[in-house]
A and B are shown apart, each in its own frame.
Chain A
Amino acid sequence: MKGSLIILSFFVAGLLFGMYKLLPDTMLQNDYSLYALYILMFLVGIGVGSNKKTWEIIKSVNFKIILVPLSVITGTYIGVTLFSLLQNNMTITEAIAVGSGFGYYSLSSVLITEVSGETLGVIALLSNIIREIITLLFTPVFARYFGKLAPISSGGATAMDTTLPIITKYIGADYAIISVFSGVVLTILVPFLIAIIL
């Protein structure tokens, strides 16, 4: 939660700087964000590759545990496709790209901005932050009425870190490994899925 507030405040700061034209024109005309994105992706790779969790998790793979992130992906895509069919502002491709963030708002929003522009990037940012917030608030409800995988599923990529404490509190520590597994798999898949879709 603290992380989201910091990130959101950087976004809002940028917003204000842009709105009140506080930056020199040269900075507005040159787009540095692509280079920053390249650096970020390389660093994210190092983070994933060096994470002990990643490799321990791979050892715990079995058929059933793979079903969990698979259900998150399938369910999210069914949901957002339905959404795109009910309105005409977003195409199916765009909706699936936004859904593919699975709560990983920082990475998904900058990737989507780079390919599809700022409007969809902002939607991705807001939507994926909201996904984390809803998971934090409604985990008890999801766990009670929709089974122990529901909070993990709602959490998406965040089920490995930011929403993990609340999830394990309501579904039990024996499901923590499944939660981390699902979150790690989705986190790694986010950039690949967005790249394939857009």
Chain B
Amino acid sequence: MIAVLVLMTLGIVIGWFLHHKEKFLLFTGRLTNWAIYILLFLLGVSVGTNEKILNNFDKIGLQAILITLFAIAGSVLVSWLTYHFFFKQDER
């Protein structure tokens, strides 16, 4: 996992130096999309060959929905407090 973070940080530094090279950035942008497509395709393949996941897909889907509802409820409520105490007074 460290390798992942080092590579990303290296990318940020290089990106900062090359931020005016538009053709290069267009190219890396496209490459980024394809890297994502390939990785999700591969994730699909390993899920498709994994009987355990396929047989429990309904359960996994339900868990995904529930955890998202909790995540959104929590963040919406905390940001409501933040809004109430720090932002609201700025508005007329």
What number of A-B contacts does a CB cutoff of 8 Å give? 281
Shortest distance between the CB of A31 and any CB in chain B (Å): 8
Shortest distance between the CB of B39 and any CB in chain A (Å): 4
B8 touches A41 (CB 8 A): yes
B23 within 8 A of A: no
Given A42-B8, A50-B16, A83-B66, the answer on whether A23 and B75 have CB atoms closer than 8 Å is: no
Q: Would you list which residues of chain A between 52 and 110 have a CB under 8 Å from chain B?
A: 52, 55, 64, 67-68, 71-72, 74-80, 82-83, 87, 89-90, 95, 98-99, 106-107, 109-110
Residue of A nearest to B3 (CB): A38
Given A71-B82, A126-B60, A198-B1, the answer on whether A191 and B37 have CB atoms closer than 8 Å is: no
Q: Would you list which residues of chain B between 1 and 53 have a CB under 8 Å from chain A?
A: 1-5, 7-19, 25, 28-29, 31-32, 35-50, 52-53
Shortest distance between the CB of A132 and any CB in chain B (Å): 10
A154 touches B76 (CB 8 A): yes
Shortest distance between the CB of B43 and any CB in chain A (Å): 6
Where the two chains meet, the residues of A that have a C-beta atom closer than 8 Å to any C-beta of B are: 6-7, 10-21, 23, 28, 32-33, 36-52, 55, 64, 67-68, 71-72, 74-80, 82-83, 87, 89-90, 95, 98-99, 106-107, 109-111, 113, 115, 118-119, 121-123, 125-128, 130-131, 134-135, 142, 146-150, 152-154, 156, 191-192, 195, 198
